Amino acid sequence: LTGTSREQRAFQYLLAHAIPGDPHHILQTFDQWCYHCEHLSSAHAMSGRIVERVLLEQAPLRVLELGTYCGYGTVLLAQGLPPGARLYTIEGDPRHAAVAEKVIRLAGFSEQMVELIVGPSEEVIPRLREKHGLMNANLVFMDHWKRCYLRDLRLLESHQLLAEGATILADNVLFPGAPHFLQYAKTCGKYHCKVHRASLEY
């Protein structure tokens, strides 16, 4: 009826209510919108606490996010990075990427700190080193299509984009679920696995 998408309406709400340059307030305002107005399938406060703890413990300098969507997870990651760190985030849908770009910049993060790459992850991952300068990632946050988790993990492995001791955080592996990814991570012998229990978004 409004002629705008849910994602665009969420951004308009951010513009009206959030404090520019304040990432924490941007996320709080996002949560308010999703709890009280319209649901968005993005990372949220509970899964956010897990992300924040990992960032605090590991202080990764090179972070890769698969699935930018509206930029909630991107802002969450970026606000917890140590000085000099760089975040690369990949979004396959140009419409969502356009909203995310505005959200990321509204939160105060420059292109030097957060680079948004638009395109299918299976096409972008093989070009990350040559085209975008990502030699390897210390932390990977997966929050895109669950059926792509295993394929993209194997792509990261085959292109040697995982730093030694890298951490991979994958959201929603139980529901809606990424069973093949989970089985591979548990049985391939390359990873130590831990499942964190959390609620569904909002």
Catalytic residue numbers read: 143, 146, 171-172, 201
In angstroms, the first-to-last Cα distance of the chain is: 24
Cα 64 from chain centre: 8
* DSSP helix/strand/coil, 133: coil
Taking a C-beta distance cutoff of 8 angstroms, is the pair 11, 70 a contact? yes
Report in angstroms the alpha-carbon separations of 111 from 80, 91, 104, 127.
16, 15, 9, 18
d(C-alpha 163, C-alpha 156), whole Å: 10
**Which residues are CB-contacts of 73 (< 8 A; sequence separation ≥ 6)?**
42, 43, 51, 65, 67, 89, 141, 143
Helices (H), the chain: 6-17, 23-36, 45-58, 72-79, 94-106, 121-124, 128-132, 149-158, 179-187
